[in-house]
Amino acid sequence: MSNPIAPKLSAHGAEMPTLGYGTMLFPEPEHAIELILHALNSGYRHIDTARKYGSEPWVGEAMRASGLPRDEIWVTTKVTEENAKADDFARSVDTSLEALGLDHVDLLLIHWPQPRVPLEETLGALAKAKRDGLARHIGVSNFTIPLLDEAMAKCPEPLITNQIEYHAYIRQDRLITACRKHGLLVTCHAPLARGAMLDDPVIVDIASTHGKTPAQIALRWLVQQSNVAIVPRALEISEIEENIGIFDFALSETEMARIVTLQDNNLRVINPEVRRPVWDEA
């Protein structure tokens, strides 16, 4: 299947592909390399992984098997909150690079905030990884408005994104406004709410109008917003191809507005009790 390459979004000197392939929770690890490789062969140029996911070795192997030049693939990885202290953070970055078989990643994120370690210490380690050439760009993930404001004030190097849960079933207006105020991209994890909205009558109706699937409508709604990137997971070849097939059509203003009303469902699908911060009010 021939698909267009996803457009890129700009922030603080970075040019990040709008669409990434999320690599969390592969149920069949032996199938992971095949899936990641198919994503690259289908036109994906952004792979999202993390130390916590355990998928970094498969990402590296698929990249090598693809034959694509290194500079054509944007790789994001993350340092887990267990490694928020500076020395632990540095070791985590080294471990990730070794697992990936790379000398640098394109984007390094703080995966979750860690209240037991001063944010300034973790941000210093994040910035050092960039200055040392281990990451071309840096950012945060799952940061609330107060944490984001603190990070922007204290990080010695520019941040480019906050990766957050955002989809048609959750309202994140205030947090997205804060990201835009700071010139950050919004990267959406769980952009399909783990499938929760795919039977919604509004999504299904709009999909039938365009001859697209509900997933494609839900993803298109996200990327059609300003400075919003997505990293959906896909566990089947067909889903990989489905998720990239969102750049050959557009939703009307009326359709965009209809989907906005679904945010009143206020469904948060990623809410781990152990490490979640106090979420912003909608």
The angle subtended at Cα 64 by Cα 77 and Cα 89, nearest 5°, is 25
Q: Which of 21, 53, 166, 169 is catalytic?
A: 53
Q: Which tokens belong to 126?
A: 């994040």
List of residues 6+ apart from 5 with CB closer than 8 A = 17, 43, 45
Pairing type for strands 105-110 and 8-11 reads unpaired
Q: In this structure, what token pair is assigned to residue 259?
A: 């989907």
Burial class of residue 272 in the structure, from the number of CB atoms within 10 Å of its CB (0-12 exposed, 13-18 middle, 19+ buried): exposed
Phi-psi region of 169 (alpha: psi -120 to 50; beta: other; left: phi over 0): alpha
CA distance 21 to 13: 22
> Sign (positive/negative) of CA torsion 12, 18, 21, 23?
positive
Q: Identify whether 53 is a catalytic site residue.
A: yes
21 forms bridges with which residues in the sheet? 47
CB 237 within 8 A of CB 244: no
C-beta separation of 40 from 81 below 8 A: no
**How far is the CA of 250 from the CAs of 212, 217, 232, in angstroms?**
11, 9, 19
* Dist. CA 117–CA 22, nearest whole Å: 28
The CA-based angle 49-123-175, given to 5 degrees, is: 70
Q: Which positions are catalytic? A: 53
